[in-house]
Structure 1
Amino acid sequence: MKNNMVKKLLTLALAGAMTLSLAACGSKSDDSSNDAQQGGDESGKTYKVAIIKQLDHASLDEIANAVAAELDKIAADNGVTIEYDITSGQNDQTILKQLSDQAIADQVDAIIPIATTAAQISALSAEDTKTPVVYAAVSDPEAASLTGIDYVTGTSDALNTSFIMDMMFAQNPDVAKVGLLYSLSEPNSTKPIADAKAYLDTKGIEYVEQTANTNDEVVAAASALIADGVDAVFTPTDNVIMAAELAIYEDLAKAGIPHYTGADSFVRNGAYATCGVNYTDLGAKTADLAYSAITDGMDGMEDYYLMDGGIITVNTDTAAAMSLDYSCFDSMGTVVEVTTTKD
């Protein structure tokens, strides 16, 4: 089974599957904690970890920073030294392979890839050495063929699309046309978009799709949705759109079109609202898992750990610009208010 999974992983990676993952509401919670406190006396030892981001943007940066902070804490708490480097694959599979191959050559004790393609390629690089690969923020590990591999585990942030759509209609029960904005280069967007369509079909609501694979295309797609007169826009955990959010949020807000998304990083960059996991918690959990994998081995570890969601994030700047009262979300979960940042 493991060999079949690795062969399938190779096929997916080489086919150019740029499956990136952000954060979103999950349906199953992970109650494990204090993973980093397991294991025996490791005092005085030194470990090396490679942290490899799929690309640079707010979501993945937050996760990487949280991983690094937790590794520092683990080192201090356990009297060990943890050396780590944070690198970025710049959304390029060739660079990602170079980075993960170099990590193996450097004999790191674990690789922490952030996002799906980074995880897939890191798993391939580690196939011979069985170096632990503990990924962060893969929304669908099974579809990405990252299960059934004994040296691979990590954190998942599966999206609860129906809940986000419920938020959209709680805010405006009269929504008649919804824009679906996403990238065809991200298989992780496939299921949430299909779920959104099914949800809207059930309600008899019209929807318009716009896809994009570059920043310029995202701007053009957003303009097309505005011209189409949509009442709201939905984007899943899509890194291509996330990377361009700062370029589109003002136009959407000026048009009075709230943008509902799959991660709080969108909202911090100007989108209206989301429901998802806390990225800092996800990064810390991933670091804990990595330390456990290094010190205790991976026997008994799960294929992946699904992070609990339920945090509603609203951009108050965007809400004010559109004169939206978001108190309708109070009964749906914990509401966190943020303002627009350029990070």
Structure 2
Amino acid sequence: MAGSQWKKILAAGLCGLMAAGVLAGCGGGSGSGSSSSGGKMKVGIVQIVQHPALDESNKGFVDALNEAGLKDKVEIDEQNAQGDQSNLKAIANRYVSGNYKLIGAISTPAAQAMANATDKIPIICTAISDFENAKLMKSEKAPDSNVTGTNDRGPVDKQVKLIKEIQPNVKKIGIIYNSSEINSVVQAKHLKENCQPLGIDVVELTVNSVNDVQQVAEGFLGGKVDAIYVPTDNIIASSIPTLMAVANREKIPVYGAEVGHVKNGVLASESISFYDIGHRAGQMAAEILKGNKTVKDFPVEGADKTKLYINKSEMETLGIQIPKEVLDRAEMI
């Protein structure tokens, strides 16, 4: 009798183990990486470095996901590469091996690293000047892979017009940027294209790291330029105070491609909103996460409006007289 009872107990134990195994197998299938342990979809958001413009794009992206009703349905893993390409590669590998549902890439280097790591996971990008030149797609009008998003192309024509309004006699405009950033190279090209018909020469200086900015920027001194233009370059954006310290020695007006530059000290900018382009990219991501659309349903979009910003403190430092019609349409910072 005792032996029979032990057999029954052992049989019950084996059945329990088998049931547990079945349940574990089912659990593994539903949580294979695209979802967190709480059943949420895993979304990675990576930016190359921390500075105001990219931070605003990031905020806009996350806000859009939340507004779309996904706050409790996604687990967001935000990463900052601190300007290091090896960090970008490690982050990309982590997202891919974790089978993330979608990746948000903020800046050209971040987008390129993610695209090199996967052609399967949807990658929604923002703060990129030119998707085609960055080799992320053949045509921004018709995405042909797992990548799309929003560009940050500012109105270079309006920037040049603004410089002419403030400095009617401008003859030479300097531009400083990292030549390894394709978006910066594109912006330098657009600046030259817009200056040439006006008889304005463009003086180009390039840097490789933040440590180069002060020494290289000193190449603008000695009357070599009448004004300096700063593109949406990640290295320069992180070094605005350094650049301004050099430019202010000879009271050279510095103009930025976006409002973050003005907040950090440059004189003026006809700026797009990085929050807005990040928000639009987040809306695209939300539609894809919901299963309503795919990457190829979204052509690359740009900002649909700009706003003029002027730094009051820098205007006083330069002792420059800005025309009333310019001041009337500007927001002072």
- Indicate the TM-score class for this superposition, using the shorter chain for normalisation: 0.7 to 0.9
Q: Work out which of the residue numbers 289, 293, 297 in structure 2 matches 1:297.
A: 293
Corresponding residue number in structure 2 for 1:141: 131
Deviations 1:308-339 (A, max 9, x none): 232112212111211334434257xx52322x
Q: Displacement, 1:294?
A: 1.1
Q: Work out which of the residue numbers 192, 198, 205 in structure 1 matches 2:193.
A: 198
Matched ranges for 1:100-111 at <5 A: 100-111=92-103
Q: Displacement, 1:303?
A: 3.1
Aligned residue pairs total 289
Equivalent-residue separation in structure 1 for 2:165 and 2:295 (angstroms)? 45
Equivalent-residue separation in structure 2 for 1:207 and 1:139 (angstroms)? 20
Equivalent-residue separation in structure 1 for 2:305 and 2:39 (angstroms)? 35
Change (3 A) 1:198 1:100: same
Is 1:329–2:326 an aligned residue pair? yes
Q: Is the 8 A contact 1:254 1:321 kept in 2?
A: no
RMSD of aligned alpha carbons: 2.3
Tell me whether 168-177 or 251-260 shows the greater mean CA deviation: 251-260
Corresponding residue number in structure 1 for 2:24: none
Matched ranges for 1:149-164 at <5 A: 149-164=144-159
Matched ranges for 1:179-328 at <5 A: 179-295=174-290, 296-298=292-294, 301-326=297-322, 327-328=324-325
Equivalent-residue separation in structure 1 for 2:144 and 2:194 (angstroms)? 34
TM-score by length of 2: 0.79
Q: Work out which of the residue numbers 57, 76, 90 in structure 1 matches 2:51.
A: 57
Q: Is the 8 A contact 2:148 2:295 kept in 1?
A: no
Letter in 1 for 2:204: E
Equivalent-residue separation in structure 1 for 2:92 and 2:211 (angstroms)? 30
Identity %: 26
Larger Rg: 2
Secondary structure (helix, strand or coil) at the match of 1:210 reads strand
Q: Displacement, 1:177?
A: 2.6
Secondary structure (helix, strand or coil) at the match of 2:127 reads coil
Change (3 A) 1:228 1:217: farther
Corresponding residue number in structure 1 for 2:169: 174
Q: Displacement, 1:231?
A: 1.4
Deviations 1:64-121 (A, max 9, x none): 233233333334xx67432112111222222212112211222221100101121122
Unaligned 5+ runs, structure 1: 1-43, 339-343
Tell me whether 263-272 or 184-193 shows the greater mean CA deviation: 184-193
Deviations 1:40-71 (A, max 9, x none): xxxx9732210100122222122223323333
Change (3 A) 1:293 1:185: same
Corresponding residue number in structure 2 for 1:87: 79
Deviations 1:249-296 (A, max 9, x none): 133234221111212211111111112211112222121111111112
Secondary structure (helix, strand or coil) at the match of 2:221 reads helix
Unaligned 5+ runs, structure 2: 1-37, 138-142
Equivalent-residue separation in structure 2 for 1:208 and 1:150 (angstroms)? 37
Equivalent-residue separation in structure 2 for 1:73 and 1:122 (angstroms)? 25
Q: Is the 8 A contact 2:147 2:295 kept in 1?
A: no
Change (3 A) 1:301 1:116: same
Secondary structure (helix, strand or coil) at the match of 1:221 reads helix
Q: Is the 8 A contact 1:262 1:276 kept in 2?
A: yes
Tell me whether 84-93 or 295-304 shows the greater mean CA deviation: 295-304
Q: RCO (CA 8 Å, sep 6+): is it higher in 1 or 2?
A: 1
Letter in 2 for 1:135: C
